[in-house]
Amino acid sequence: MWNEGVAWFSARLDMQIDVSDTHAALESGAPGFVLVDTRSEEAWTQAHVPGALHLPRREIAARAPALIDPATPVVAYCWGPGCDGATRAALAFAQLGYRVKEMIGGIEYWIREGFTVRTPAGPLTRDPDPLTAPAKGAACAC
């Protein structure tokens, strides 16, 4: 039973990345992956992570090979934890042979943690949600 737990949680860490780790990787300037927003055009226009590539989930099979080198790892995101769009997108990339992770929390938790999004009016940064992110100066220590 315990070995099953090790396998399960190891696999989850291999297949998922949280918004904080994604942000840190992007801020490093050499993230080692392409971040892909898999939502609709309307959702992308409303707000998206700066530097992300927009590729709606339904277009991945047709367009990904021309846009993303198959040797480049992909991190896919969608709305948030109540949406399985990023999981479906990650599956579509995996079926094409890409190494892929799902950004858990999606754009919802990106915004809740106080990270900048690009909107039609320009960059927007909100204060972190004190119920979902560590207070300023505090560390999650996870």
- Looking up residue 39, the CATH number of its domain turns out to be 3.40.250.10
The crossing angle, in degrees rounded to 10, of helices 60-67 and 85-95 is 60
Decide if 108 is inside a domain. yes
State the residue range of the domain holding 108. 12-124
Decide if 133 is inside a domain. no
53-54: strand order across its sheet: 16-18, 100-104, 74-77, 34-37, 53-54
CA-to-CA distance for 3 and 50, rounded, in angstroms? 40
Q: Which residues contact 90 (CB under 8 A, 6 or more apart)?
A: 15, 74, 76, 100, 101, 102
- List the pLDDT tens digit at each of the 142 positions of the chain: 678 999 999 999 999 999 999 999 999 999 999 999 999 999 999 999 999 999 999 999 999 999 999 999 999 999 998 999 999 999 999 999 999 999 999 999 999 999 999 999 999 999 999 888 777 666 676 7
Decide if 92 is inside a domain. yes
CA-to-CA distance for 12 and 61, rounded, in angstroms? 24
Decide if 62 is inside a domain. yes
Decide if 111 is inside a domain. yes
Per the structure, the count of domains in the chain is: 1
